Amino acid sequence: MSTFADMKKQRKSNLTSLIKETEKITSPNVFGDTDDRFWRPELDKSGNGYAVVRFLPAPDGEDLPWARMWNHGFQGPGGWYIENSLTTLGQKDPVSEHNSQLWNSGIEANKEVARKQKRRLNYTANVYIIKDPAHPENEGQVKFYRFGKKIFDKINDLMNPEFEDESPVNPFDLWEGANFKMKIRKIEGYSNYDKSEFETPTALLDDEARLEEIWKSEFSLKELVSTDKFKTFEELKIKLDKVLGLGTENIPPAFSLPKDKTEDVPFDGGVPIQTTPKPAAESEDNDEEALGYFQKLAETA
């Protein structure tokens, strides 16, 4: 048990610890996630970030090096709807069915609502963290990294090059893959990943035993999209009706939404959505950020 004198001596170090905790709470990167298997590069006060990672091959006993998840994150008159979509499992989902009804109504305002409520796609992969300037203690660890279409397109471009003088590269290969340099900039309030790039293909490490250790330390990706991660259609339908203020027999006129010029842009986690949603500005890879941000708001509302 500490004495009063000990407490007095430790007060400066206690202040340092408290400052670090407040930085975690106020950081734009923190969305209330409690799963420490997940990692994301921390942004500085200007909204910029840098890290180097290596995408890892499929875990032992699994076929793919990534898991794909569709989900929804939006606010209606009755609160927030932040749920995984059953379409991930190839099943019918009440939001998708409701959006189809809105779209097929032929009413432009209903189409606008359907756009705002559309499903969002994100991917999760195991990564080996090579360089994390903001948190060097993460270097050398295997973590989950969740990302959106922008980064997946860069992966796909590496595996399927556009020009005939370019050779396909499997970025998930431990020996002939490539490290990924994450260069994040804040542009017009949103995270931009355009300058992120893969390095020249090379082995992750020269130590075969260490490579095997890294591979065996990967987390299961199938577990992320197992059926217990999804509510049933009936549970989701009840939640959707509550959020949108719907009865079971009809679809009400769309609640007021400004007209948006964009067809396929996700909400960005940096701008809180209002009760009457504003048009979503263009963002680059922020589906996961947005859903985490909305989840945090929903939990504190």
In a domain, residue 25? The reply is no
pLDDT higher than threshold 60 for residue 2: no
The number of domains in the chain is 2
Q: Is residue 20 part of a domain?
A: no
Where a domain ends, among 204, 225, 246? 225
What are residue 84's DSSP bridge partners? 71
Q: Which of 33-42, 69-78, 226-235 is the least confident region? A: 33-42
Are residue 153 and residue 45 in the same domain, yes or no?
yes
**Domain co-membership, 132 together with 193:** yes
Domain edge (last residue) among 178, 196, 225? 225
Is 172 a member of any domain? Answer: yes
**Are the CB atoms for 295 and 32 separated by under 8 Å?**
yes
Q: Lowest mean pLDDT: which of 132-141, 149-158, 241-250?
A: 241-250
Q: pLDDT tens-digit profile of 40-80?
A: 999 999 999 999 999 999 999 999 999 999 999 999 999 99
Band of pLDDT at residue 103, cut at 50, 70 and 90: very high
Regarding whether 252 and 184 lie in a shared domain, the answer is no
Same domain, 221 and 245: no
Q: Has residue 8 been placed in a domain? A: no
Whether residue 134 sits in one domain with residue 57: yes
Task: Categorize the per-residue pLDDT at 189 as very low, low, confident or very high, splitting at 50, 70 and 90.
Answer: confident
pLDDT of residue 169: 96
Say yes or no: 277 and 133 in one domain: no
Give the residue numbers spanning the domain of 240.
71-120+231-300
Q: What is the pTM of this model?
A: 0.73
| Residues 218 and 240 both lie in one domain | no
| Rounded-to-integer distance, Cα 114 and Cα 39, Å | 32
Domain assignment present for residue 14? The answer is no
- Are residues 112 and 131 part of one domain? no
| pLDDT tops 70 at residue 290 | no
- If asked whether residues 195 and 264 sit together in one domain, one would say no
What does the mean pLDDT of the chain come to? 82
Residues 54 and 137 in one domain: yes
203 part of a folded domain: yes
DSSP string for residues in the chain: ---HHHHHHTHHHHHHHHHHHHHHHH-TT------TTB--PPP-TTS-EEEEEEEPPPPTT-S-SEEEEEEEEEEETTEEEEEE-GGGGT---HHHHHHHHHHHT--HHHHHHHHHT--EEEEEEEEEEEE-TT-GGGTT-EEEEEE-HHHHHHHHHHHS-SSTTS----TT-TTT---EEEEEEEETTEEE-TT-EE-----S-S-HHHHHHHHHTPPPSGGGGSGGGS--HHHHHHHHHHHHT--SS--PPPPP----S-SS-PPPTTSPPPSSPPPPPP-SS-HHHHHHHHHHHHHH-
Q: What integer is the mean pLDDT of 160-166?
A: 92
Domain shared by 137 and 188, yes or no? yes
The verdict on 42 and 131 lying in the same domain is: yes
Is residue 21 included in any domain, yes or no? no
Average pLDDT over residues 109-136: 96
Asked if residues 257 and 109 have their Cβ atoms less than 8 Å apart, the reply is: yes
Looking up residue 127, the CATH number of its domain turns out to be: 3.90.198.10
Placement of tokens 């409690």 in the chain: 34
How confident is the model over 236-268, as pLDDT tens digits? 999 999 999 986 444 444 443 334 333 333 333
Last residue of a domain, which of 203, 225, 247? 225
Is residue 146 a part of any domain in this protein?
A: yes
C-alpha to C-alpha distances, 13 to 16, 115, 148, 250, nearest whole angstrom: 5, 50, 39, 61
193 CB-near residues (< 8 Å, 6+ apart): 150, 151, 154, 182, 183, 184, 284, 285
